[in-house]
A and B are shown apart, each in its own frame.
Chain A
Amino acid sequence: MKTQDSFNSEEVAHLASQLCEGVLDAAGVARLEFALRNSPGARRLFLEYLAIHGELYWQSSEELLKANLWHLPQPSVRRESLTTGYYLRKSAVWLGLATAVLLVGWGLWRGGFAHLLGWRSGGTTIPQGQSTNNSPLRLAETGGSTSVAWVEEVAGAEWELVNLVECSPDDSGNSDHPGESAFAQLRAIPLPGRRACRLETGSIRMRFASGVRMAVEGPAELVPLAGSCVALNKGTAFVQVPVGKPHFVVETPFARIIDRGTSFGVHVADEWTEIHCLEGKVEIAISVPDPSASGEGALPSAFLAKSVLMSGRCLAAEDLPGCADDGGRNIPSTCESVAIVNWNQPEKRKTSLLADDEAVKNLILSAGQALRIEHRDGKLNVLAAKFRLDPWPSLDGPVCVARFRQAVRNDPRLRHHFPFEGWSSSERRLDRRGGLHLAEVVMFGGSGGGAVDYQERGLDSSTRAVRFYRGVRSGNTQGVALQTLGDFEPPRALTVELLLRMDPPAERDPQATCVAVGTRASADQCSFWVVADGEGRLLHLFDANSQWLESGIRLLFGQWYYVAVTVATVPEGVKVNVYCGPLDGSEARLQRLVAETLVPGSLAKGPLGVGKGFQANLAHAYPWPGAIDELAIYEGVLEEETLQAHYRLLLERYW
């Protein structure tokens, strides 16, 4: 029997080599085990050999040859294509990639999916030199509970992804660029198959084992089912299937979407699903609700996804009845009952189909066509439409709220922060900094049938806004807005910063009063920081018995603006600065409209109205006709440079 140090190093190395190449037979394993069990020297040699094998595999030898390792920081760059892992990087490259995701998501909505060209060949959304090839991906198809997809990039500071692959923004504060750390780049986060993921806010970009890329915008709930299949129970996604790849399937609660060499967008809401075909063709198999399935006539929203999960596999396109090449129907040639309508006025031509026409369950959309499936009360209505494919490039104002949000959070003076993000409406009303949470309030006279819309589109894919309701009934203004549950206690100096959009007030009264943010302590004491009249003129009021302070700017209806108001208490009243800049127009510039102007008044303590104000008797009044996002209140007067920096973050362009 050999002793500990008498091993044949050549033989051990040779056996290790065979082991690495997967050609070691049982006799070889036995010999190797004997040496490893009895000789520390053999173990050392074996491990050193394996370490070389591993290092070369982990980072391709070519990279090792090129690398100037003496200056390389940890962690190392992982090899491309074959490997997975977590990596945090804060380089501009990854920032650009994250931005591309944002732009993709932004385009999903703003252009009716038509702008989503960031991954198209020839598209230039991803900045030069920042190709997706930088991402290490393992593309092999795997089964069982192993990874079937990988998250490549993450954008947005608020997102959470349940399923043990949670990511957060890197807000370590090391960045020289305010807000840059809003983007966490966790490279190739594995998503195990058949486990649900919830994306609270923000955007992620992922790649499936089949090579298919998908951008998902929160809030969303998805379940990667296989390398070529995903269930999207809720949310917005854009899918791009590379040429030559097998069919990719997106399961939604009421439709199975099968690509036919295409790119498409899909949005799944509680009561409707919408699919836009951008390139090629996409086949849609509509699922008719089965009243017996739930016993109540209406299916739970995730029913089909769950049934797919239970079945344990994802059906291939050819497995689907009616999904073969000749099984689907092209719109409109073979489906006369599907209305092709002007997308801007779909309600005029809506047609109820499925109750009496089973044959149209399978439809084929071509580029520029969209399908909306409405599911209410156990019935489906299907609406087909054409939409306009805008020529590329057509994005004229990409913005990045996630970066702005991060800069806001990083400011130690921040006291209250309302990003209006979250899965539920109550989450969207949370004060993320100060605990001064919001509740809905209804104006005097009732809601008039309106409600606060928490799904309102923000400036980009990393954000949602809230839209308040302002309507007229019997000549009286009615509305629904938000107000803090407790009193807002103003410091002696503060800054109110927000993004807002004003829509035309229903009453069309130039004298209308529309309050975006304000408090009121009494009939005399009020702080209406951001107000507009019926024509959009920006106003401010700090003493109910004084004149309005006019900013001298008129907000264009339907356009997003950045507005900041600073107020400092002085013995004679308050000193006010007002800044305003458009966010989606071509003349983007933050102007200081009011500079150190002394006006009568004070900072009033009282409930904080968001999207509303208060009458003299403190009744809810003056609802804001439009949307507000990212409301932040700071203690102290923020410097103009800081506000300009925040504004610039919202205007970043990436190409």
Chain B
Amino acid sequence: MQEPPIGNETPNGSPESRDLGNKVERFAKLLASVQRKLFLYILSLIHQPVDAEDILQETNLVLWRKFDEFDPQTDFLRWACKVAYYEVLKFRSRRSKSEGLLSEEVLEVLAHDAGELLGQAERRREALAYCLQKLREPLRRLVLARYAPDATIQSAAHAVGKTVEAARRALHRARMFLLECIRRRLAADSLG
């Protein structure tokens, strides 16, 4: 019997998916570790959380695109903030000046200071959780209402039975209380 020839179809792919998987894994872990800080950084420049989220998404995509350029010996957060900064500028250039955006000159100095503040982000977050417990009940209810998912200042005002303007003022008082409380907390921590 004659042996038939083996089909001449040759696999033409290459098993590179493992390398890609490793890269993706490294990227995902790095990205996960900086997402909150990155959001805070962007928000400090653009102020509106919804806009900040959009920029964050775009930043994530750019980070992935440029991930091959990232030097693993360097700080991923610092690199990500640089990318985010340019995304903020791009976003800003698409918006009209009448939308309450800060000038590029101010953004530049803010970006520098914001990057430094990120070093305290974890301690500040812990302090915030502590200080929220210390907030007076009416203000705490307002904060809860304002920062509930999908909430607006209008919905928060309605939830606590205030006018929108009164709710704004009260919310400002709450934030100022939290700000001072966090400062005290961090100062106390630093004293040991």
Contacts and interface: CB of A to CB of B under 8 A. Distances in A.
B178 A87 contact: no
Contact of A55 (B40, B114, B153): B40
30 contacts: A13-B175, A14-B172, A32-B102, A37-B105, A40-B113, A47-B114, A50-B44, A51-B121, A52-B175, A53-B43, A54-B43, A54-B49, A57-B49, A65-B129, A75-B32, A79-B147, A82-B49, A87-B35, A146-B57, A146-B58, A166-B24, A168-B25, A190-B57, A426-B11, A439-B6, A439-B7, A440-B7, A444-B2, A485-B11, A619-B1
A62 B54 CA distance: 24
Interface residues of A, number: 105
A535 interface: no
B53 A83 contact: yes
A25 B101 CA distance: 10
Given A59-B36, A441-B4, 17 more contacts: A17-B171, A22-B100, A24-B100, A29-B100, A36-B110, A48-B182, A52-B179, A60-B147, A70-B126, A78-B35, A146-B58, A184-B28, A430-B14, A432-B15, A439-B9, A444-B1, A620-B3
Interface in A429-468: 429-432, 435, 437-446
B39 A58 contact: yes
Q: Which of A78, A86, A440, A445 has the most CB of B within 10 A?
A: A86
A165 B27 CA distance: 11
A170 B27 CA distance: 11
Q: Which of B105, B106, B109 has the most CB of A within 10 A?
A: B106
A165 B60 CA distance: 9
A79 B149 contact: yes
A44 interface: yes
Contact of A22 (B21, B24, B48, B124): B48
Interface residues of B, number: 86
Contact of A84 (B2, B13, B56, B153): B56
Nearest to A167: B24
Given A13-B176, A430-B11, A60 B102 contact: no
What 7 A-B pairs have minimum CB-CB distances, sorted nearest first? A81-B149, A168-B21, A168-B24, A17-B172, A54-B43, A440-B7, A427-B13
A315 interface: no
B100 A485 contact: no
A107 to B, nearest CB: 27
B110 A43 contact: yes
Given A37-B105, A84-B53, A439-B11, A49 B4 contact: no
Contacts of A17: 168, 171-172, 175
Given A56-B143, A84-B56, A43 B109 contact: yes
A637 interface: no
B3 A618 contact: yes
B125 interface: yes
B6 A619 contact: no
Contacts of B65: 164
B185 to A, nearest CB: 12
A296 B172 CA distance: 68
Nearest to B13: A427
Contacts of A52: 128, 175, 178-179, 182
Interface of B: 1-4, 6-15, 17-18, 20-22, 24-25, 28-29, 31-33, 35-36, 39-40, 43-44, 47-50, 52-54, 56-58, 60-61, 64-65, 98, 100-103, 105-106, 109-110, 113-114, 117, 121-122, 124-126, 128-130, 132-133, 140, 143-144, 146-150, 153, 168, 171-172, 175-176, 178-179, 182-183
B110 A46 contact: yes
A54 B39 contact: yes
Contact of B133 (A65, A158, A615): A65
A61 B100 contact: no
B20 A160 contact: yes
B117 A51 contact: yes
Q: Which of A56, A164, A615 has the most CB of B within 10 A?
A: A56
Contacts of A19: 47, 100
A483 interface: yes
B149 A443 contact: no
B113 to A, nearest CB: 5
A171 B54 contact: no
A111 B50 CA distance: 42
